[in-house]
Structure 1
Amino acid sequence: MSDALAQWQIGHATITAVVEQDLVMDGLISKAKPEALAQIPWLHPHFVDADGRMLALVQCFVIEIDGKIIVVDTCVGDEKDLPSDPAWHRQHFGLLRKFADAGFDPAAVDMVLCTHLHLDHVGINTQLIDGEWVPTFPNARYLFARTEYEHWEAEAKKDPVDPSTLERPFDRYQAGFQATQKRVHEQSVEPVMQAGLAELVDPPCEPIPGIQLVPTTGHTPGHVSVAVHSQGEAALITGDAFHHPCQIARADWATVADYDRAESSATRARMLEELGASGALMLGTHFARPTGGRVVRDGDSWKMEV
């Protein structure tokens, strides 16, 4: 990886990270208290700071392979209605400018892959032009896992629940999140479907040679990770199967945003075994820089060597 640009070479494929914003993951993983994180020394200083805060990013990956350009996940986006997340609600993060600064043209993108359809992975699927949400990548095929799309399509049709009517804080959080996801579906997913640019797929599948969508469910019902293979080398873009590298050491640490916490933990345990055996490069979608590394044994657990 270059110091100037987060970029990796996998055989003939080039993977570039385009960062939308920095994050601190306060409260997302309830077991990841500072004292617990301190017991995982390899997380410092890249992924946990001196105050015990979990450092993270919102970023997309651009894969260049055999003359094709593929974008994986499209971050939060600009001017989106995200009322359950005030720091993201109707904000302007300028990902498209950063995309251009990295040397990429939206019109030249051949494919957009969404690991799942949460608000921070589909934002620049569309942009607001003259009051309408239109696809940002007009010449691309947008691929959504069928199970994932059908889940959120059904959720978007449900009547919203007023969070103030609920007693438990977690229930209020969930109700607010679901209402926001309804808007995400309407603003960042459905316009792509209506434009005829979307394709529903059934992973595991290989949309083009060297690019595979691998089921990694648990965080959402149809979550996938993206595997890249070229010239005998491999990388895996995790999506939110992993939110933070601490989950490499503690696969059972689920997040409050996981649809099925037991399944997400089992998925992580399986992925770590596979990554450890294959030696494939692991690229964590939300991992702070250096973002990528190899999964190796660390006693009875795992760690990422960067």
Structure 2
Amino acid sequence: MNPQTPSRTPHNTAPTWTVGDFVVHRIDETELPPQTGPWLLPEATPDIVNDVPWLRPAFAGHDGILHLASHSFALEVDGLRVLIDTGIGNGKTRANPAWHNLDTDYLRRLTDAGFAPETIDLVILTHLHTDHVGWNTRDDNGTWVPTFPNARYIASTTEWDYWAGVELEAPRQQMFDDSIHPIRDAGLLDLIDVPASTGLGTTGAEVAPGIRLFATPGHTPGQVAVELRSGDRAAVITGDCVHHPVQLPHPHITSCVDIDADQATRTRHALLAALADTETLLLGSHFPPPTAGTVVTAETNYRLVPVPGQHA
């Protein structure tokens, strides 16, 4: 090992899930404030939430308010060190007060889990929204520079083409300026063609051994979910095709920022149907702890059976 290279030995401070030969680490950024749920998923009223008792206490409070979080997932595949989504980021000008000028220990947590920024080889962006790309960059004396300078950052071509073809309002332009354009200008952003299918285990774009992107459009046109497969074990990282476990019994509940809510609902139904009553682990990109679980059929739709992460 190069003596200049930070240690890659994990300190096991992050919860982990084993998927075949993969060990998936949740890298916490921040809990999202209580007002996030009513804003993001306005159809998830307290009455609806309280009518799903298994959501309490982990996924919702007794007041019917949803719990949500911001985090990344990290794993190593055949020596390739992979980070999936990069959260909100520190010190950035944001219209959402909960995200504005954030100051968290995210990079320390990432490093303590054994994934120092310089050791990351691949960053997968499920879609180009503010709370999934923020740690793409960090402030270096007033300049936004790539946080993961040795990584290849990837997003879907469909996602890039959509945002390149619409007029961006000022807050979204700010996000592109501080979190997307610097990695593109550094030559680190690669666009991947992902087939327009939501099939599990079949179509998609393999970006590393056992890591496949598959299309989950609706929230954004080019959003992808991430399938991990090792041996006979599999997991799916949702991106924002499922924001919260309340959408398992109520897949029709949509996000206020879904670009195509009808398509988002169809995508969610298809994904949950494919996962139902299998051993495939669902890892929610905004699910609070325990974050993961398996999908089972329940009444007319689904529920999540939690699978807590392991702590050393």
> Structure 2-normalised TM-score?
0.88
**AA in 1 matched with 2:216:** T
**AA in 1 matched with 2:182:** P
- Greater Cα shift, 96-105 or 54-63: 96-105
**AA in 2 matched with 1:296:** V
Asked whether 1:131 is paired with 2:130, we answer no
Question: In 2, Cα distance between the equivalents of 1:143 and 1:27?
Answer: 29
61, 79, 82: which one aligns with 2:91:
79
* Match of residue 164 from structure 1: none
- Greater Cα shift, 60-69 or 247-256: 60-69
Residues 57-96 of structure 1 mapped to structure 2, 5 A cutoff: 57-82=69-94, 84-96=95-107
What secondary structure sits across from 2:219 in the alignment?
coil
191, 198, 202: which one aligns with 2:193:
202
Deviation of residue 4 (structure 1)?
A: 6.1
Asked whether 1:294 is paired with 2:285, we answer no
**AA in 2 matched with 1:121:** H
Question: In 2, Cα distance between the equivalents of 1:224 and 1:14?
Answer: 21
Deviation of residue 104 (structure 1)?
A: 1.6
Asked whether 1:110 is paired with 2:121, we answer yes
What secondary structure sits across from 2:165 in the alignment?
helix
* Match of residue 183 from structure 1: 174
**AA in 1 matched with 2:46:** P
**AA in 1 matched with 2:116:** D
Higher helix share: 1
Alpha-carbon contact 1:6-1:290 (below 8 Å) kept = no
Question: In 1, Cα distance between the equivalents of 2:69 and 2:128?
Answer: 17
Deviation of residue 101 (structure 1)?
A: 2.3
* Match of residue 171 from structure 1: none
Deviation of residue 91 (structure 1)?
A: 2.2
> Structure 1-normalised TM-score?
0.89
**AA in 2 matched with 1:186:** D
Alpha-carbon contact 2:38-2:45 (below 8 Å) kept = no
Question: In 2, Cα distance between the equivalents of 1:263 and 1:291?
Answer: 25
Q: For residues 270 and 206 of structure 1, do their structure 2 counterparts lie closer, same or farther at Cα, with a shift above 3 Å needed?
A: same
Alpha-carbon contact 1:153-1:185 (below 8 Å) kept = no
Deviation of residue 5 (structure 1)?
A: 3.4
Question: In 2, Cα distance between the equivalents of 1:132 and 1:245?
Answer: 38
* Match of residue 175 from structure 1: none
Asked whether 1:276 is paired with 2:276, we answer yes
Question: In 1, Cα distance between the equivalents of 2:77 and 2:209?
Answer: 9
* Match of residue 285 from structure 1: 285
> What is the CA deviation profile of residues 205-248 of structure 1, one whole-angstrom value per residue up to 9, with x for unaligned ones?
00111000010000001000010000110000001001110001
Q: What value does the CA root-mean-square deviation take over the aligned residues?
A: 1.4
Deviation of residue 143 (structure 1)?
A: 0.4
Identity %: 38
Residues 230-241 of structure 1 mapped to structure 2, 5 A cutoff: 230-241=230-241
Question: In 1, Cα distance between the equivalents of 2:143 and 2:60?
Answer: 40
Alpha-carbon contact 2:85-2:125 (below 8 Å) kept = yes
Alpha-carbon contact 1:12-1:66 (below 8 Å) kept = no
Question: In 1, Cα distance between the equivalents of 2:267 and 2:255?
Answer: 13
Q: For residues 33 and 121 of structure 1, do their structure 2 counterparts lie closer, same or farther at Cα, with a shift above 3 Å needed?
A: same
Question: In 2, Cα distance between the equivalents of 1:250 and 1:36?
Answer: 9
Question: In 1, Cα distance between the equivalents of 2:252 and 2:261?
Answer: 8
* Match of residue 8 from structure 2: none
Deviation of residue 29 (structure 1)?
A: 1.0
Question: In 1, Cα distance between the equivalents of 2:221 and 2:89?
Answer: 23
Question: In 1, Cα distance between the equivalents of 2:216 and 2:278?
Answer: 17
* Match of residue 21 from structure 1: 30
* Match of residue 39 from structure 1: 51
| Residue correspondences, number | 283
Question: In 2, Cα distance between the equivalents of 1:179 and 1:279?
Answer: 43
Alpha-carbon contact 1:282-1:292 (below 8 Å) kept = yes
Deviation of residue 26 (structure 1)?
A: 2.7
- Consecutive unaligned residues in structure 1, runs of 5 or more: 161-177
Alpha-carbon contact 2:206-2:213 (below 8 Å) kept = yes
* Match of residue 173 from structure 1: none
Alpha-carbon contact 1:11-1:232 (below 8 Å) kept = yes
